[in-house]
Amino acid sequence: MAIHIDGKTKLCALLGNPVEHTLSPAIHNFLADQLGIPLVYVAFGVERAELEDAVRGGLALGILGFNVTVPFKQSVMSCLTGLEDGARAIGAVNTLVRSDQGFCGYNTDWIGLKRLLFHADISLQGRTVVLLGAGGAAWAAAYVCGCEKAEKLYILNRTREKAVVLAERMHTQFPSMECCALEMNEWTKMEESGLIALQATSVGLWPHTNCAPIEDVKFYQRLDAAVDMIYKPEETLFMRLAADAGAKTANGLNMLLYQAVAAFELWVGRKVEPSVVSRAKDMLKQEIGFQRNG
């Protein structure tokens, strides 16, 4: 892919620390090339003390938009002129979109998960969902549960206190969704079966692939579907245990892809055609190292 740069080329960028291993430049430059949009995407490693200067500098330099990754998804919010509803509810921003007044903050992580569920044919409406984790990814996942009208949400976390905070916030946002907070090892207190599990911790992430947040096979026997928001390895131990118990499984690759597509669409003001998204997914699999038929 050859990138042509001239005086009309727009710039988008990632702000984070570290950024060396990000896949965002590969995704966004591929999308720009496929759609013939004069845009280049780069990654900037920024120190915490310099974050506000980086955002203000981007505004002054005419940067079209930013992605924001760890550890700045919360702290960047004080640098913005506005927040969309999802970002405000989740309490985190991963996308900055330029406006006349400054940068507005969006969260496209939840959109990525919503599209992942759609393409995996997993509906949360009226269902009981088990959310593993209470960190940043879990907040986006809990928001999706509310938007998709899940009936009940169990939030399991290593420390119960963080799960309680998230459960209380989501019940305030979505009063009709029952929210329960438990420690991870208290999953046996759940009486339901036919559950949908969303795995939002980093447990099982490459290269530490031989572990899962819960390893008791009896937990997986209660599941109808299991989604791991990790995208590498292609099949985590969490997914393998669920599949062995007969549950439908999906990994986080589509979430990674579709959160990027949603951000790109916000920046350029047009939809990315499904055929382009499909090609971008094939490209991502090669970048990550999946087998061609993976």
- CA–CA distance, 63 with 48 (Å, rounded to integer): 20
Residue 6, pLDDT > 90, answer no
Supply the pLDDT for residue 5. 87
DSSP code of residue 197: E
- pLDDT, one tens digit per residue, over 188-215 is 999 999 999 999 999 999 999 999 999 9
Residue 291, pLDDT > 80, answer no
Supply the pLDDT for residue 293. 35
Whether residues 121 and 28 fall in one domain? no
Beta bridge partners of 40: 11
Mean pLDDT of 61-70: 96
Q: How many CB atoms lie within 10 A of CB 160?
A: 17
CATH number where 95 lies: 3.40.50.10860
Whether residues 129 and 210 fall in one domain? yes
Q: How many residues does the chain have?
A: 294
- pLDDT, one tens digit per residue, over 86-143 is 999 999 999 999 999 999 999 999 999 999 999 999 999 999 999 999 999 999 999 9
Whether residues 245 and 133 fall in one domain? yes
Average pLDDT over the chain, rounded to whole? 95
Residue 292, pLDDT > 60, answer no
Supply the pLDDT for residue 256. 97
Q: Residue 3 — pLDDT band, cuts 50, 70, 90?
A: confident
Supply the pLDDT for residue 1. 63
Active site residue 73: yes
Whether residues 86 and 116 fall in one domain? no
Residue 43, pLDDT > 70, answer yes
**In which domain, by residue range, is 258 found?**
10-107+254-288
Share of the chain above pLDDT 90, in %: 95
Supply the pLDDT for residue 294. 33
- At 207, list the tokens: 């290269």
Whether residues 258 and 247 fall in one domain? no
Tell me if 32 is assigned to some domain.
yes
Residue 4, pLDDT > 90, answer no
| Domains held by the chain: number | 2
Mean pLDDT of 272-276: 97
Prediction pTM value: 0.94
What percent of the residues of the chain are helix, what percent strand, and what percent coil, each to the nearest 5?
40, 20, 40
- CA–CA distance, 134 with 82 (Å, rounded to integer): 25
- CA–CA distance, 239 with 249 (Å, rounded to integer): 6
Share of the chain above pLDDT 70, in %: 98
CATH number where 196 lies: 3.40.50.720
Tell me if 4 is assigned to some domain.
no
Tell me which of 8, 10, 73, 149 is the catalytic residue: 73
- pLDDT, one tens digit per residue, over 140-198 is 999 999 999 999 999 999 999 999 999 999 999 999 999 999 999 999 999 999 999 99
Whether residues 201 and 122 fall in one domain? yes
